[in-house]
Amino acid sequence: MPKEKPELSDAMRAKMRRKTHEKNPINGTKFTIAVSSAKGGVGKSTFATNLALALKKIGCRVGILDADIYGPSVPKMLGINEKPKSDGQKLEPIIKYELQCMSIGFLTDQQTPMIWRGPMVTSAIKTFTQKVSWKDLDFIIVDMPPGTGDTQLTFSQEIKIDGAIIVSTPQEVALLDVVRGIKMFDKLGVKILGLVDNMSYFIGDDDKKYKIFGEGGVKKTAEDFQKEFLGEIPINSEIGKLADQGKPIVEANPEHKISKIYLDFANKVKSSYL
């Protein structure tokens, strides 16, 4: 007669449940911070790279993971034109401005479209989180793609995200997607560190503020959903020009008023975790 299986105790069942739902952290890192917008064209990648550099400026060990498989921007913004080395099992992150960096853009031609289905995107994300030799990082900043799709679900459900920052412009069409992003992170149990109002205004030659995308929408959305409003970043031509040159403003000119805004964000993130 076959042996009867021993009954599991309540403690053993609880342990199995915890293991089943336990999320895997990214090896070599302490804290994973996702930068998300749920909408394209709001400056999310610019924010992610400058935040990573600002955290480095205040003494943190930082990596940046470009998780936008279909439209990677980090290689251009950091001026990286090389492929990562590999020992046959793991990829080595490329070091630039003392940041550890990884992107699908390092592995493909810049003009090659990524015509991938969802499972392939999920596989690429798992490669970048499990098969990259990240080393002793305080923070890894993840530049999320727009939307609320496979990448967001993979990170939220299978990888330990310690916090998310949501970037938006103040116009209503952008805020509609921001609300979806807030609800997604809340539903998946990811802590939202706060919302950032990007391209909130520009200062004309007359020293007046011109709020061409509207006013106060991001702050009001933060209040409506009881999230912290982290602040505003004005439009400034230096931000885009320096990013196109591969040297973001925080690295190129740390004394610039925009750089000081990023340093303030970095200090808020650091004080939340370290």
What is the overall mean pLDDT for the chain? Answer: 86
Q: Which domains occur in the chain, in start order?
A: 25-273 (3.40.50.300)
Q: Give the whole-angstrom CA distance, residue 76 versus residue 80.
A: 6
3-state secondary structure of 114: coil
- Return the structure tokens found at 240: 């885009």
Q: Give the whole-angstrom CA distance, residue 204 versus residue 206.
A: 5
Q: pTM to 2 decimals?
A: 0.86
In 3D space, the residue among 139, 133, 49 whose CA is nearest the CA of residue 94 turns out to be: 133
Q: Give the whole-angstrom CA distance, residue 103 versus residue 124.
A: 10
Task: Express each pLDDT in 195-246 by its tens digit.
Answer: 999 999 888 888 888 888 878 889 999 999 999 999 999 999 999 999 999 9
Q: Give the whole-angstrom CA distance, residue 192 versus residue 214.
A: 24
Residue 96's alpha-carbon distances to 18, 133, 177, 178, 243, in angstroms, are: 38, 15, 32, 31, 14
Task: Express each pLDDT in 39-90 by its tens digit.
Answer: 667 889 999 999 999 999 999 999 999 988 877 899 999 999 999 999 989 9
Q: Give the whole-angstrom CA distance, residue 55 versus residue 163.
A: 15
**For 94-171, where are the alpha helices, taking DSSP H only?**
118-130, 150-158
| Range with the largest mean pLDDT of 52-66, 148-162, 180-194 | 52-66
